[in-house]
Amino acid sequence: MVRKSSPAGPPLSLADAHALGRLGFDSVTGVTSLVEAVHRTIAGLTPPLGASPQGGAGGISGFVYSTVRGVTRLAGGGWKAIGAMLPDASGKLDPRREAWVAAINGVFGEHLAKTANPLAVAMQFRHEGRALSLETDALRKTIGNGRGKLVVLLHGLCMNDLQWQRQGHDHGRMLADRLGFVPLYLYYNSGRHVSENGREFAALLARLVDAWPEPVEELVLVGHSMGGLLARSACHYAELEKLAWREKLKRIVFLGTPHQGAPLERAGSHVDLVLELSPYLAPFARLGKSRSAGIKDLRHGNVLDEDWSHPGNTATRDHRHPLPLPAGVRCHALAASLQEAPVKSGKRARGDGLVPVASALGEHANPAFHLTFAAKDSHVVYGCSHFDLLARDEVAGKLLAWCGEVTGRALKVGAGATAT
C-alpha cells in the first residue's frame, strides 16, 4: 500500500521559528492571567452573574501566578536576544511562507507591530513578489520607462500580494496585458487598524508617485475585501494632507468590500458581550478580544481613526463617522453571492459567505452612511464566493470594461470565455 504524503507546511527559517516563539511567550503570560482570573472568581465564591472581582489571586496562589509571569518574561527576554544573532531568511520568496506570515499578521498583527516582532509585515509596494525601492533609478531599472498608467492592487485580511494569483489568473497582470497598466501590489499588515494602514498607504503612494520615472497620467486602485476599506481611508488622509496623487486617481474598483461591515465579526463581539455577563466566563472573553484591530474594524467597516478611538467606544455599537465615496473619482462595486441566480424582486440575495451583498454595494438604511454607486458601476456576481472574485471571468470582464471604458467589442478574459 502506498502511503499518501501530507502537504508540506510552510518552509520556516530559524528566524521565523524564533519569532513565533516570542509570540508563544506572550501567549503564556496572557493565559496565566486568564487562569488566575478564573481561580480568583472561584475562590471568592462569586455569584454566577454580575461583575468580576478585581485584583489578582491572594496568598501563595497569587505569588505562584506572579512568578510564572516573571519567569516567562525573563525567558522571553533571553529568547529575544538570541533572535538578534540568527540570520534573516525573509529574502527567500516562498508562497507558502508568505501565506503563513500574512495569516499570522491578520490575526495578531497589531500585537506583532507593538512588540516589534520580526514577523510583523512592513508596508511596501511589491512587483512580482519583490519589494520595490522607491528611488527613481531603481524603479526605472525594475519597471522601465514610458509607462505612466498605474494600477495598485490591495489585498484583504490575512492575505498577501501573491494571492492575487488565483487559478492561473491575476487581475493586475490582465490589466497590464490588455490595457497597458503597470501593476503594483501593496503588501501590508492587515491586523493593524484600517485607518493606520490608510494613512501610511497615502504617504507611501505619495513617495511612489514622486519617484516614478515618468509623469503619472492615470492611477487606479483595486481593493479586495479589506483592501477596499484601505483605499477609502487612504483617499481621506490624502485629502487632509493635500497629497498630489489624489488628483491623479481616476477610479477605484471594490471587490467584495464590507463597506457596512461583516456579520461574522459582529457575531464575535456579541459572544464576547454574553461571556462578560458571568464572572466565571468573563476571563475567556479576553481570548475573543485578542483578535487583531484589523478584524475588529470589519465589524462595522471602520475607515477613520475616529471610528474606533473615541471615548466610550463599545464593541456592539456602530460609532463610525460618515465618509462618502471620494469626490471626483469613478467608483465601482462588485459583490458576490453564493446563489446561482438573481432572487425575485423584493428579496435580498445571499452574500458570499463573508460579506453581505448590501454591504459590498455600500447600502445602508441611514442616508449618511449609504454609499451611492451608479447602477452601471455596480454588479453582483452569482454562484461566486468571496475569494472567487479574484479569478472569475465575469469579474475580469467588468474590470476591463470599467478600467478601459471599453464599449462595443468583445474582450477575451479567460480560457474559453469572453466579456462584452
Residue tagged 461566486 (cell numbers): 384
Mean pLDDT of the chain: 77
Q: Judge contact between 255 and 163, C-beta under 8 A.
A: no
Name the pLDDT band for 21 (thresholds 50, 70, 90).
Answer: low
In this prediction, residues 139-153 reach a mean pLDDT of: 88
**First-to-last CA distance in the chain?**
52
Round to whole Å and give the CA distance between 186 and 121. 11
The answer, yes or no, to whether residue 292 has pLDDT greater than 90, is: no
Cβ atoms 226, 298 nearer than 8 A:
yes
Longest alpha-carbon distance in the chain? 81
As a whole-number percent, the residues of the chain with pLDDT over 90 amount to 50
What pLDDT, on the 0 to 100 scale, is given for residue 22? Answer: 60
C-alpha cell read off for 403: 478600467
pLDDT at 274 over 50: no
Residues contacting residue 317 through CB under 8 Å, at least 6 positions apart: none
**Angle at 268 (CA atoms; ends 352, 306), nearest 5 degrees:** 90
Phi–psi pair at 156, nearest 5 degrees: -100, -170
Per the CB < 8 A criterion, the answer to whether 114 and 189 are in contact is no
pLDDT at 378: 96
Is a pLDDT exceeding 70 seen at residue 219?
Answer: yes
Helix (H) or strand (E) holding 417: strand 417-419
Instruction: Give the whole-angstrom CA distance, residue 396 versus residue 418.
Output: 10
Distance CA 85, CA 15 (A): 9
Q: In this predicted structure, which of 212-226, 304-318, 383-397 has the lowest mean pLDDT?
A: 304-318
- Position 79 scores a pLDDT of 38
Q: Which residues are 336's β-sheet partners?
A: 381
Q: Please give the residue that has the higher pLDDT: either 107 or 333.
A: 333
CA distance 34 to 27: 10
165 with 242: CB under 8 angstroms?
A: no
Look at strands 182-187 and 218-224 and give their pairing: unpaired
Backbone angles phi, psi at 148, to 5 degrees: -110, 15
Query: When comparing pLDDT for 220 and 18, which is higher?
Result: 220
- Window from 117-121, 310-314, 395-399 with minimum mean pLDDT: 310-314
231/249 Cα distance (integer angstroms): 11
The pLDDT-based confidence of 409 (bands split at 50, 70, 90) is very low
What residue ranges in 66-128 does DSSP mark as E strands?
Answer: 124-127
Of the candidate ranges 18-32, 74-88, 330-344, 387-401, the one whose mean pLDDT is the lowest: 74-88
Which pLDDT value is given to residue 104?
83
pLDDT classification of 103: cutoffs 50, 70, 90: confident
Question: Residue 176 in 3-state DSSP?
Answer: helix
Give percent of the chain above pLDDT 70: 65
What average pLDDT does range 212-240 have in this prediction? 97
